[in-house]
Amino acid sequence: MIVLESLWTLVKLIPLPAVVVCETLATADAPYNKHRTLRRIIGDAAARYMANTFSIPQIRKLSGSTLDVYTNWAVKAKVPLVVDEIGGDAKLLWIGPRRLERVILVVHGGGFMLPPMPAHLLFWDYVRVELEKKGLTPGVVFLNYSLWPEATFPTQLAQLCRAIKYLTAAGVQPSSIQLAGDSAGGNLILQLFSHILHPHPAVDMLVLVEPLRAAYLISPWVGLSGETASHDENDKIDYARKESLIWIGSRIAGDVPEEYRAFAQASKAPEGWFTGVDAVVGDVLVTAGGSECLRDDVLIFGDMMKRVHPKTEVVVQPGGIHVDMFMDFWAGETKVGMLTPLILDRLLAGCA
C-alpha cells in the first residue's frame, strides 16, 4: 500500500511542467502579476497546482515533519541544529544562534495540518541576516507545535504558552519578545491573546509582567468558513483556494467547542472580545494580499482590532496572495515584494 501511494504521488507530479507552462502563459499579463518577475509567476503556478492536487497526507509525506524541514534547511545552510525541548511535545528550533536578549518567536502556518515550507525558514533566515547588517542580533526561533489530527485544540495554544514561559524563565523579558505568525500561526497568536483575556480552563494561565513587544500577523487565518466575497473573487488566483480552506477549516472548527469558537475564529468574535489586548502586546501589524482568498476576513478582523488597540496597523499588498513574501523565497526570487521591507522595518523598531 505504501509503495502504491508513493507511486501515485509521483504520477501526480508528471503534469506539473505542462500545467505550469500553460498557467504562466495564461496569467503572465494579469493585473495581479503586474509587478512580478517570470520566475515568481512560474513559482505561483507550481504552488497552485501542488496545493490543490496533493492531499494533506501526501504533502506531509513529501515534506516530512517540522523537525525534518528544519534539519534539511540547516544542512543546506551549513549551520548547526539548535533545538530546545520545552515539554508538552513541543520544541523551539533556532534559526541561527540561540540569543536571549531579544527574541522573534515565529509561529508557522499550514492550517494546523502541515509543517512550515522550506521558504518559511529561508525568509526568517533572510530577516535575521538583514537585521544583523543593521547591528541587531535578535534570536529567531520557530515553535515546533503538534499537528492535526494527532493534536487538536487547545493543544497548540498550550504549546505556545509553554514556549513563552520557557523564554521568560530563561531571562527574556516579555517586552523583548516579538511574535510573528502567518496564516494558522497568526490564528494561534490570536488564540494566545484570547487565552490571556479569557482564560481557557484546559490551558495553564500565562501571566505577563509587561506587554509583549509586538505581534506580526501575516495573512492570519481568522475565519474558517470561507464565506466572505474575496474567497470567490480570488479563488483562481490564490494557491490557498476556497474549497481547500473550507475543508481544512471545517476540520479544525469541528474540534473547537462552540463556547470557544472565538479563540479559533477571531473575525467572528463577539464585539469587545479583544478589549484589553493593548495591555497584552505593544504593537500589532496585520497584513493581507489584495488577491488572496482570506483578504476580507483579515480586513474585518483588522477593523475589529483597531477599535480596541490604537497601535494596530493593517496593510494590504496590491496583487498579493496568501503569505506573499514567503512565495518570493519559494520561487527563489531575488526581488522581494513590499511586505518584506515593511516587516523588516517593524522588526528593526521592535529590536531597538
Per-residue pLDDT tens over the stretch 128-140: 999 999 999 999 9
Least confident of 3-7, 13-17, 32-36, 344-348: 3-7
Is pLDDT at 1 greater than 70 in this prediction? no
Residue 156's pLDDT band, with cuts at 50, 70 and 90, is very high
**What average pLDDT does range 24-40 have in this prediction?**
89
Query: What pLDDT does residue 351 have?
Result: 81
Q: Is residue 246's pLDDT more than 80?
A: yes
| Residue length of the chain | 352
pLDDT score of 64: 95
Average the pLDDT over each of 27-36, 63-72, 85-94, 193-202 and give the range with the smallest value.
27-36
Please give the average per-residue pLDDT across 222-245, as a whole number: 95
Higher pLDDT, 14 or 289: 289
pLDDT (average), residues 285-313: 97
Q: Answer whether residue 3 shows pLDDT above 70.
A: no
Q: Mean of the pLDDT values across residues 110-130?
A: 97
Residue 335's pLDDT is 87
Structure confidence at residue 26 as a pLDDT band (50, 70, 90):
confident
Q: How far apart are CA 352 and CA 346, in angstroms?
A: 10
Residues 68-112: pLDDT tens digits? 999 999 999 999 999 999 999 999 999 999 999 999 999 999 999
Question: Which residues are CB-contacts of 32 (< 8 A; sequence separation ≥ 6)?
Answer: 237, 290, 291, 319, 321
Where are the domains positioned within the chain?
65-351
Q: What is the CATH number of domain 65-351?
A: 3.40.50.1820
- Say how far apart CA 219 and CA 267 lie, in whole Å: 13
Query: Per-residue pLDDT for 29 more than 90?
Result: no
The pLDDT confidence band at residue 245, using thresholds 50, 70 and 90, is: very high
**What confidence score (pLDDT) does residue 5 get?**
62
pLDDT of 6 > 70? The answer is no
101 Cβ contact partners less than 8 Å away, ≥ 6 residues apart: 137, 138, 139, 172, 176
Output the pLDDT for position 9: 66
Give pLDDT, residue 2.
55
